[in-house]
A and B are shown apart, each in its own frame.
Chain A
Amino acid sequence: MPGRVKKRSPLKAPDRPYIALGLEGSANKLGAGIIKHSTDGSTLVLSNVRHTYITPAGEGFLPRDTAQHHREWALTVINDALNKAGVSLHDIDCICYTKGPGMGAPLVSVALVARTLSLLYNKPLVGVNHCVGHIEMGRQVTGAQNPVVLYVSGGNTQVIAYSQQCYRIFGETLDIAVGNCLDRFARVINLSNDPSPGYNIEQEAKKGKRLLPLPYTTKGMDISLSGILTSTEAYTYDKRFRPTGPSAEDGEDIITPQDLCFSLQETVFAMLVEITERAMAHIGSKEVLIVGGVGCNERLQEMMGVMAKERGGNVFATDERFCIDNGIMIAQAGLLSFRMGHETPLLKSTCTQR
């Protein structure tokens, strides 16, 4: 459990400038970012480039096709990042890549690129945990000191806090991730995947008026989301459901896709805020940091802000540049790790889906 004394960081200020390249591809975003740590202790994002594999409405992304997308775009995205940063690969101190968790095939395809560059330019590799990448970048951007972290994305739903030298998971989903839940419902009502299904759900939810009852399942600091997805989907088979909005002869008692997006968000986010608050109460923290793709959602940020304020604290969130998977967060976490003396030898530069 966190103590009460602010501790000095074990990481010394750099004796010279350090530059790192970060490569991310654990899901459908391919990202390359370049970060610089200067001797005055400052951190500078030199570039942060991303290309997203967007599938047609109603379809999700499959591992094989996603890996294919990353292979096709790897060189373009990396070159773009180098050009925008105005550096060459020779100037780089280390190459950081996402070790996991994530989808196997896309992870491996990006790790292969990282290994190749490492051998070609004789640069050390640093494998980075995707979640830690999100958290470290979130801390860097927001200045949050020791927050409870809500990590919400297509593949992850976790409440994390730093305790006894480790990021520890205090609570998580017992079945599907919140982003997965939202994305899958977006598919059910045929919302576009551009720019992202979650973004489109958020826009639809703003037009929703009616809160429909949905299962609310929190267990201690864990939550369950598969039941709520099923129930929300079930409303689309309800007699009162109007997929294209109300018609002239409809009365008050109808259900629109907007109502469902609204109800889904209100219920799922309330559950997320609740378990986050429990973790904050448990460890005695007043700060909360939201990271991961779903963290862009302004309604979630708003609800979390109300909760944090009631507790006399603050919510920290980042915008889509850092919330959504990106290369710069991998560069940031990897470079911190590198400066602490960590490297990933070639033989150990594997990936893990979990």
Chain B
Amino acid sequence: MQTFRYDHLPTEISTVHVALYTDVENSAALRSRIVRASQLEGAEGDAEREAVNFAFIEARLICSVLHLQTAVYQALLAQAQGALRTKTVHSEILWALNPTNNITEAIRRYGVADASKSLIVVRIGSPDLEQGDVNEQMHKVVEGTLAPLDELSDITDWASIKKYYKLNGEAAVKAAAKDPAREQAIVNEIVTSSVAMKSVMG
């Protein structure tokens, strides 16, 4: 797990905890738990929402740590400016990752799916939130193996990313078709840049 501190952001969102889980066993259960938590009322609902108060991200659709950080940062900005397009800063990350403005599609594609094997779990909060506590909370909801973030490169599903971002016909991508490493570097750049400028995509 990694923790990033953004000192120039409002305190309540200045700390970002990021963990990569592989071999996740309970994706389907986790997904229905998230859906149920959003519908429960009263104190029970609050407790349940707090228990799953994370962004659960389909890890195979993430190109790089920079790609992820870029989406998180744009979500943080939207939260700080009172310009969220979705309900929470966590769901805003999923919106930022998706190439279109369709929120349902963003959650379906980039959120946890029944078949998800690897998840990136993000928790945004104040600096009072200890890494250890977040770690513990995550372990309570995700059944999987905590892995270092740089293992992401083994998980990335480049074909799906190219499909979602409609990159197969793109000049820059076609030019590098013979060299997978180079092609991936280019796809990563296009996708990261797209996420960064989504707020003005027009």
Please say whether the chains A and B touch (CB closer than 8 A): no
Chain B residues within CB distance 8 Å of chain A:
none
